[in-house]
Amino acid sequence: MGSHSHSGRRQFLTGGALAGFVMGAIRSVRGQTAAPEARPKDNLAYGQTSRFDNTIRRAPPRGSAITDTALMTPLQDLDGIITPSGLHFLMDHVNGIPEIDPQTHRLLMHGMVDRPLSFTMDEIKRLPSVSRVYFLECNANSRPLRDESKDSVQMVHGRTSCSEWTGVLLSVLLKECGVQRGASWIVAEGSESNKYTMSMPLAKAMDDILVAYAQNGEPVRPQQGYPLRLVVPGWEAIRSVKWLSRVKVADQPQMAWHETGNNADTRPDGKGLWFRFELGPKSVITRPSGGQRLLPGFCEITGLAWTGGNIVRKVDVSTDGGRTYKEAELQQPVLRHAHTRFRFPWKWNGEEAVLQSRCTDERGEVQPTIAEAAKNLGVTPEYFYDADHFNGIQPWKVSRDGSVHNALA
């Protein structure tokens, strides 16, 4: 569902036609006077899920340092590629979710620009918009892969979700401000109490970073950055700054705490691993997965694949622990920087089996085994389990009694 510029739009955007953008607006007559409603909304205004439906986010087991701010997407209960907005993973380093009135919210664009500008939400929403299906994955997803307490795909890999995002390309706003010569970075800042801050190369901002106000059709929810957030496709989700209030154009990164202190790995040599943005090819079988139980007979194997390296080219599935692989079917159309659903027909014969999947992306990069991943990084597996950007292959063991468990636990 990506929307790429075509001749009509290019024609429109050239020749300084953008000047005057901030002169007009659409406002809803009703919306201006409506009083904020209690949440959650009632079942007529907003239909709820079944009381029999236990598809919910869950926090990681106690003992994790991130227990109180992490909520994991129930991948084992989901189908297709869209994650319902209410089930999108949450991983915040902030004490409380900002409650922002969109009527008073502003986005300030400043720094190395010809015209610093402050945008209201109304002004942003009438600019040329795009809608694109993008996954967001936390840099720390799948990290404690073999922790014994992590026996479900939700608890191990539930920090990835996928939505149809709508907003304005950051490049449109930057062009409106006029980026000055010599600029090479942008620094994005959120509205929360600790002013979460992230730096990214200007080239990415001019390519495909989205300033999003809608998720899966409706306004972005508060936990996801209402009313405005960045969506940085293919990169670790910590870059997709929520509750976005400022974008500064600069000639160097901010070296903010969230990017150089927290969220940075320490290498074996003691140096920091900074500014690793792009996520590698990855996949995981979501059904059957840890905590489920099989009966003998036919059983479709299904899961999700994704990559920062453009699009998923293929996913291979093994039912014998990686000795042999066969290609799975990919849900069409396969979208760039989106979750890709794969499906594989299988008949369980009642014997032990180890199920795993392997993603290959458009660049030809292949999801590594855990041993390969450790070797690639030049570290020991023990170190690797604490590393970010973990994309090793996840094996699920099916026992003769039909129970499925994390084969690494």
Q: Which of residues 349-408 bind its own copies (CB under 8 A)?
A: 403
Structure tokens at 144: 């404690």
| Cα separation values, 336 from 2, 309, 356, Å | 8, 9, 23
Classify residue 257 by its DSSP letter. I
User: Minimal distance in Å, beta carbon 167 to its own copies?
Assistant: 8
Tell me the number of residues near its own copies by CB under 8 A.
Answer: 112
Position 222 contacts its own copies (CB under 8 A)? yes
- Per CB under 8 A, contacts with its own copies among 72-91 are 76-88, 90
Per CB under 8 A, which of residues 30..49 are in contact with its own copies? 30-31, 34, 36-41, 43-49
H or E, element range at 231: strand 229-231
Q: Which of 137, 147, 164, 361 binds its own copies (CB under 8 A)?
A: 164
CB of 370 to its own copies, least distance (A): 26
CB of 187 to its own copies, least distance (A): 26
Range 105-109 contact pairs with CB under 8 angstroms and sequence separation of 24 or more: 105/191, 105/227, 105/228, 105/245, 106/245, 107/173, 107/211, 107/228, 107/244, 107/245, 107/246, 107/247, 108/245, 108/246, 108/247, 109/173, 109/174, 109/176, 109/177, 109/246, 109/247, 109/249
| Closest to its own copies by CB, 27 or 380 | 27
Binder of its own copies out of 229, 239, 248, 287 (CB under 8 A): 287
- Please choose, from the candidates 313, 319, 322, the residue with its C-alpha nearest in 3D space to the C-alpha of residue 368: 322
Q: How big is the CA angle at 128 (ends 175 and 36), to the nearest 5 degrees? A: 110
Secondary structure of residue 250 in the 3-state scheme: strand
Q: Report the alpha-carbon distance of residue 162 to residue 336 in Å, rounded.
A: 12
**Strand, helix or coil for residue 108:** strand
- Cβ closest to its own copies, residue 132 vs residue 389: 132
Q: How far is the CB of 211 from its own copies (least distance, A)?
A: 13
x/- map, 98-137, its own copies, by CB under 8 A: -xxxxx----------------------xxxxxx------
Question: Least distance from C-beta 339 to its own copies, angstroms?
Answer: 10
CB-nearer residue toward its own copies: 344 or 385: 344
> From the CB of residue 158, how many other CB atoms can be counted at a distance below 10 Å?
28
- Smaller CB separation from its own copies, 34 or 65: 34
- From 4-12, 238-246, 360-368, 385-393, span contacting its own copies (CB under 8 A): 4-12
Angstrom distances, CA of residue 239 to CA of 219, 228, 259, 385: 20, 14, 9, 22
Site string for its own copies, 292-331 (x = CB under 8 A): xxxxxxxxx-x-----------------------xx-x-x
Q: Between residue 186 and residue 215, which ones bind its own copies under the rule CB under 8 A?
A: 213-214
- Rounded to a whole number of angstroms, the minimum distance from the CB of residue 236 to its own copies is 21
Q: How far is the CB of 307 from its own copies (least distance, A)?
A: 17
